Amino acid sequence: MLKTIEKVLEDVILYNGKSITLLLFLAALIFLWFFEKNKSIRTVLVYLSVAALAIFICPLYARIGMKIDEAIYYRVFWALPVGVIVCYVLVLIISHFDTVREKAVVFVMAALLIGVNGRLVYTNSLHFRSSNACHIPTQVIELANALKLDNYRPIAVLPAELLPFFRQYSADIFTPYGRNMIEPQWDFKSELYDAMEGNPQEYDASEVARCARNEHCAYVVLSSAKQIKGSMEEQDYFLLNFVQGYFIYMDYNYYEIYKEQNLLDADVIERGEAALAQSARS
């Protein structure tokens, strides 16, 4: 239990960082507790916030929550309307001053107090200018569009670097595993993932193909940054497309099945027939 309490305190310190944000929040919460008369506002801003805080610091609840996932327990804090309460109280305080000059002075001081507690988001090393409206890598968008079928949702295996973004853009393609595979604390295992990512320099085509078929994958997406031991063509795959540095291979078996069931788009059939013809000539 002591370890749980220490972890809760650690989460509070990490959440607050080097700021006085939590102190401002607690001060604003105490202010509302004594001076807010509107019952609806008291219920939404005061009582619910106090309840969320009580739940978060409760050792028994914290122990259960951390058993489920210790790494994300701090997200209970996200239920606290910190910004709303602080700003609401500042507006109440400003409204009690009579002259515009007094209000302006208090407003500027409040803005400075809030501003010095944060950091400019654009200085973060993880921030970069988005190249599209979706705010995800362009190659993810183009790959998803290339894999999508109008009449069916196929299964595709993807390189690990695409996994955190792919589901943000599209739910039209199933994957045998997702971002859970690249989070060590979740400890998920997959033979297919090991075949795809076990060797950072090279794919073993036969192993990737075997594992992909075990997971019923119609598509296999491979990065051009890695070498391929053997070839996917030898494993009865054909190159459907090359998009933004990634090869999209399709299993001949699934191609024939989908074609018979009229599930394939016209452009996929065209590429598939061209690949079959090329294979027959060679």
Q: Over the stretch 209-236, which tens digit does the pLDDT of each residue have?
A: 999 999 999 999 999 999 999 999 999 9
Rounded Cα–Cα distance for residues 193 and 179 (Å): 11
Where do the DSSP E strands lie in the chain?
156-157, 202-204, 219-223, 227-229, 237-243, 246-251
Domain range annotation of the chain: 2-123, 138-281
Q: Tell me which of 216 and 79 has the higher pLDDT.
A: 216
Q: What is the residue type of 97?
A: F
State the pLDDT at residue 246.
95
Most confident option among 58-62, 97-101, 129-133: 97-101
This prediction has a pTM of 0.67
